[in-house]
Structure 1
């Protein structure tokens, strides 16, 4: 797999970031889930869920797919929310800065086709409810990326695991001089942690 050069550079940077022990403990449940699926030779479906499916869950879907592919693990990465909004334009801009190539289809809640390699199919990113027909309906891990969705969705139909991996929302910095920095910081954290997760999977 030939990753785009700028993206490759950011992945190497993400791999070098230290991950605190308390975060490793949070991530271990996801590692254990993925390892069980690999050991049982089962399809791996992961749905990253956040309230609006606009920032953290989108970052997680994209980086989850890329991190898995980077480590040679086949997964289906999805994302969803409890409300439909749109893939936030600030998050879209951050993904572009990291070296992804995007094409856009539609307005309002457009579909973005996110390319990370010319050798691979694009990741399709748009805001949707977690049980949208575009997502897996059974045998998937529901990875809760925000506290609001985690606390307000006590039951996710079809999930065979519910795994809280919460991230701080960069939305708090919208309209400030730190906006781009904080979006990139959150994206980099998610990239780093998901690269770590998939590095721990024994094939």
Structure 2
């Protein structure tokens, strides 16, 4: 009999079929040795929390909390659940904008089911399985009340936030995992392609991270 602990999720997750196919696509992407070295810091942090039977709080941070950090919050949670690991996945920025509609559209193309509440800076409820609670996402500062106030890893997903926020109150670890901003391709013919490429890269790397965790 397998014992259920707070960090091990004992279930068979029924992912939406389109999402499942994209996860398989993400798992097949190559990751360079240089990039694996970057991700190893995050792997080591999570493994230490598992070994010490402690809650895992990950706060993905970029300047506007609109694209890369939102992708990371969503894929971090899904990748952890996919590998049977219970985490709390958050995101934040240094200023409030909104979960960019282009990034939302990309998540929809990947097979997530999304509902929206409010205008301006709406909350999005992102479902990856009918068996699981939705991931709640909206733009906010990293120390918003919706996020863990302390005992979390600040995962810096953009160079601007990493370079301009030398101190993150409440963070017990600071881990740079930077991604290029798909914003550079807004309103171009490559817009959808580049947003999907970035989302798939983040999915691939988060799936890699949690695949290395020993439970």
Give the TM-score of the pair, scaled to structure 2.
0.94
- The answer to whether 1:75 aligns with 2:87 is yes
- Superposition deviation, residue 185 in structure 1: 0.1
1:197 aligns with 2:209: yes
2:142 equivalent to 1:130: yes
Q: Which residue of 2 aligns with 1:33?
A: 45
Task: Name the residue aligned to 1:95.
Answer: 107
Q: Which residue among 126, 130, 133 is the counterpart of 1:121?
A: 133
Matched, 1:106 2:118: yes
Residue of structure 2 in register with 1:44 after alignment: 56
Q: 1:176 aligns with which of 182, 185, 188?
A: 188
In the TM superposition, residue 56 of structure 1 has moved relative to its aligned partner by: 0.1
Give the gaps of 5 or more residues in structure 2: 1-12
TM-score, normalisation: structure 1 = 1.00
1:54-99 deviation per Cα after TM superposition (whole angstroms, max 9, x unaligned): 0000000000000000000000000000010000000000000000
- 1:143 is paired with a residue whose SS is strand
Residues 25-81 of structure 1 show CA distances to partners (whole Å, capped at 9, x for unaligned) of 100000000000000000000000000000000000000000000000000000000
Task: Identify unmatched segments of 5+ residues in structure 1.
Answer: none
In 1, Cα distance between equivalents of 2:81 and 2:142 = 23
| Cα RMSD for the two superposed structures | 0.3
| Runs of 4+ residues deviating >6 angstroms | none
> Equivalent residue for 1:154?
166
Distance (whole Å) between structure 2 residues aligned to residue 53 and residue 127 of structure 1: 5
Report how far residue 3 of structure 1 moved.
0.4
| Count of aligned positions | 203
Q: Give the whole-Å Cα distance in 2 for the aligned partners of 1:165 and 1:181.
A: 22
